[in-house]
Every structure is written in structure tokens, then in C-alpha cells.
Amino acid sequence: MKRFFLAALLAASLCVAQGQRESVPGAYSAQFTITEGPPGIPPGYTFPVAFVLHSGGTLTAVSSDPGDGPGCGVWARDLNGDLVLTFLGFEFNSKGAAGSAKIRIRLKYDADHSLANGVWYLDLYDVNNSSLGFIRGTLTAARMMVEAPPN
């Protein structure tokens, strides 16, 4: 009897976790704001980012910065129910590849997963994978909705 109860409890928790994961996938439009970074990047600078959270726990992202390539990575819920994302992006300049960036994000969603607020941290590397520093900030994200064009 005790084994049956534990198995039922485990199955229920897996269903809840799966339900949480399935309520998050979709396309999001986000506004990133820098709060701390290297000289030349002022705190308060904002830029848009679009990202897609896929149902299998992977993600794709693209920034508005012409020097940023697309990003890819993974996402999951932590024990607090927050969403944690980690992804890799490549940096480019007029000569080609300039390095890479590892971006880590923690998001807190509203009840229907349409809006989120969070923090992000970016580690920047040159083409030899030597650290160039970090940038950190905050973000707000909204789930994209289908919109028909006007008549």
C-alpha cells in the first residue's frame, strides 16, 4: 500500500511538472535593460530580444543588435517554479566572428504565463574563449499573440 501511495504521488508530481512545462512554450517579445556592464555601455540602455521556448526544453533567440547572431539553448523550471534559461550566442564585427556570449536568465511569470519579469547575466568571450567581462540587467517579456492584419 505504501509503495502504491508513493508511486501515485510521484506520478501526480510528474503530471504537474509536465503541465508547468507545457504552459510556458511559445514566442516572446522581451525588453532587456542593462544595469551593470563594462565602460562604454551605460546602465539603463535597453534593447529588444525575441525568443522561442520549445516544448522539449530548448530555446532559440535573436537580438536586435546587428553584431549578435542567433542564440540557442535550454530552459527548465527550478524548485521555486521560476523559469531558468541558458543559451549561447555568437558575436560578429565587420571582420567576421568576434566571440561568443553565454546568457543566463531567471524569469518569474504571471499566473497565465503571458507576462514575465526577470534578471539576466551575460558572460562575453573573445574568439579564443578568453573572458572579456560581463553584463547584467533586468528584462520584461510578453507572450506573442496571433494578430490578423487590418482589413
Q: What's the average model confidence in pLDDT over 13-35? A: 70
Q: Are 142 and 28 in contact (CB under 8 A)?
A: yes
- pTM of the entire structure? 0.78
To the nearest 10°, the Cα dihedral for 136, 44, 139, 52? -90
pLDDT at 97 over 70: yes
Q: Tell me what percent of the residues of the chain surpass a pLDDT of 90.
A: 62
pLDDT of residue 100: 92
| Residue 113 to residue 141: CA distance in whole angstroms | 10
Bridge partners for 63 per DSSP: 49
- Residue 2 has a pLDDT of 41
Q: What is the pLDDT of residue 141?
A: 95
Q: What is the mean pLDDT of the chain?
A: 84
Residue 66 has pLDDT above 70, yes or no: yes
Specify which residues 51 forms β-bridges with: 28, 61
Domains and CATH numbers, the chain: 25-143 (2.40.128.120)
Lowest mean pLDDT among 19-28, 34-43, 60-69, 78-87: 19-28
Q: Is the pLDDT confidence value at 148 over 80?
A: yes
Angle at 48 between CA 39 and CA 67, to 5 degrees: 60
> Looking at residue 72, what is its pLDDT?
94
In this model, does residue 15 exceed pLDDT 80? no
Would the pLDDT of 48 be above 50? yes
Bridge partners for 151 per DSSP: none
The cell for 84 is 531558468
